[in-house]
Amino acid sequence: MISEKALRNYADVILRVGVNIQTDQKLIINASVDHKDFVRLLVERAYNLGAGEVFVVWNDTYVTRQKLLKASEEVIKNIYDWEVAMAKSFLENGAASISLVGSYADVLSDVPAQRLGIYTRARQVAFREVMERTMKNKNRWCVAGVPNPEWARKVYGEEDIGRLWNDILFMARVDENGYDELLKHLERLKRRKDILNSENFEALKYEGPGMDLTVQLAPKHLWLSGIENDENGVPFLPNIPTEEVFTAPYKYGVNGVVYSSMPLVYQGNVIENFWVKFQDGKVVDFDAGKGKEVLKELLATDDGASYLGEVALVDTSSPIYKLGRIFYNTLYDENAAAHFAFGRAYPTCVREFNGDFEQAGLNNSLTHVDFMVGNPSMNVYGLKNGTKVPLILNGKWVI
């Protein structure tokens, strides 16, 4: 079994490095009822570290499933004002926000994609302002994984929670002794980010089996990785684990074909072996070995859902890649391989953003969904003034 000490280090890294909790700061935690033991530990550590107030918003995918299967469409798309107001009142008062995530890949698999789509869109519209606050780093936030029984069963074929905890801590680079390895890793990511920012490439070229894609970068793009700063310049780590160095593509500058290298779990449904073809930024054709209808729903969320909003480089030295497993959770799977995201770009990925996505060359959408393309045969080059600089060769960073 996993030791109390290792779990405490994980709670501390989420609080101290993740949201960088400050004395008397409010903290809001979103968690599943399956995470209650870890939530209790996290709340205890948060107050010990000086948090002023900790508020937990519980969720349960099984309860949601019943509503999605049996309630009327009116009920499914109704989001109460007080739900949104509650989240807003915390964030407007400077709260930090932690989301603990598990995986419920199969729990929603019998909910019709169209009903799931209605529900998701309604929440996205209602919580738009809340999402914008976090995407603009107005509040410090952190997403981290915590095991649930279905997740363990999905990954290993048995409900081995201890094993899943071990893998989660391994991927986070946290153990009984602390989290020094994570801090060293964050330094390496920062070095690569700094190189990419000083090179200021015009585009990236992706080559490999089933992959021939040119991705122009947004004119004033900025590469980010690991540690980010909130609007007051206070550092925080939005994702644990994190392996990516990422930026925003130019909305209309993506051309070519790319194949997924891993299944994409979207709202509990699995989309597998799919490819997408881009022309001037927009998806003009696609197919999937499995889950094509779900992919179609995703791309039809709104106009921006069929354009890219993120380009992220990850190499094969990632501990998630080394484990060689699908975790059925984007937080982990996106850190196994280089990826893109359909939908909304992070405004923090461009310099001098004035609120106008179109003018900045950025895509805007209600959705943001990552999908993996990286593999051990992939080469990525930076293009500038007719030169082609290798960044990743055979899946590995060369800078």
User: Could you say whether residue 28 binds Zn ion (CB under 5 A)?
Assistant: no
**According to CB under 5 A, which residues from 327 to 346 bind Zn ion?**
341
Q: From residue 288 to residue 317, what is the string marking binding to Zn ion with x (rule CB under 5 A)?
A: ----------------------x-x-----
Rounded-to-integer distance, Cα 173 and Cα 102, Å: 18
Closest CB 365 distance from Zn ion, rounded Å: 12
Which residue lies nearer to Zn ion by CB, 91 or 373?
373
Stretch of residues binding Zn ion (CB under 5 A), selected from 121-129, 285-293, 356-364, 366-374: 366-374
Q: Is the dihedral of CA 306, 310, 315, 319 positive or negative?
A: negative
**The binder of Zn ion chosen from 370, 372, 374, 381 (CB under 5 A):** 370
Which residue lies nearer to Zn ion by CB, 155 or 337?
337
149 CB-contact burial (10 Å; exposed 0-12 / middle 13-18 / buried 19+): middle
Closest CB 179 distance from Zn ion, rounded Å: 21
205: phi then psi, degrees, rounded to nearest 5: -115, 125
Stretch of residues binding Zn ion (CB under 5 A), selected from 223-231, 283-291, 362-370, 381-389: 362-370
Which letter does DSSP use for residue 345 in this model?
P
- Cα 185 to the chain's mean position, in Å? 18
ω into residue 209 within 30 of 0, thus cis?
A: no
Closest CB 332 distance from Zn ion, rounded Å: 12
Count, residues near Zn ion per rule CB under 5 A: 5
**According to CB under 5 A, which residues from 252 to 271 bind Zn ion?**
none
What are the residues facing 277 on neighbouring strands?
257, 285
Closest CB 346 distance from Zn ion, rounded Å: 8
Q: Which residues neighbour 175 within 8 Å (Cβ) at sequence distance 6 or greater?
A: 6, 9, 169, 181
CA atoms within 13 A on the CB side of 247: 24
Q: Which residues bind Zn ion (CB under 5 A)?
A: 244, 310, 312, 341, 370
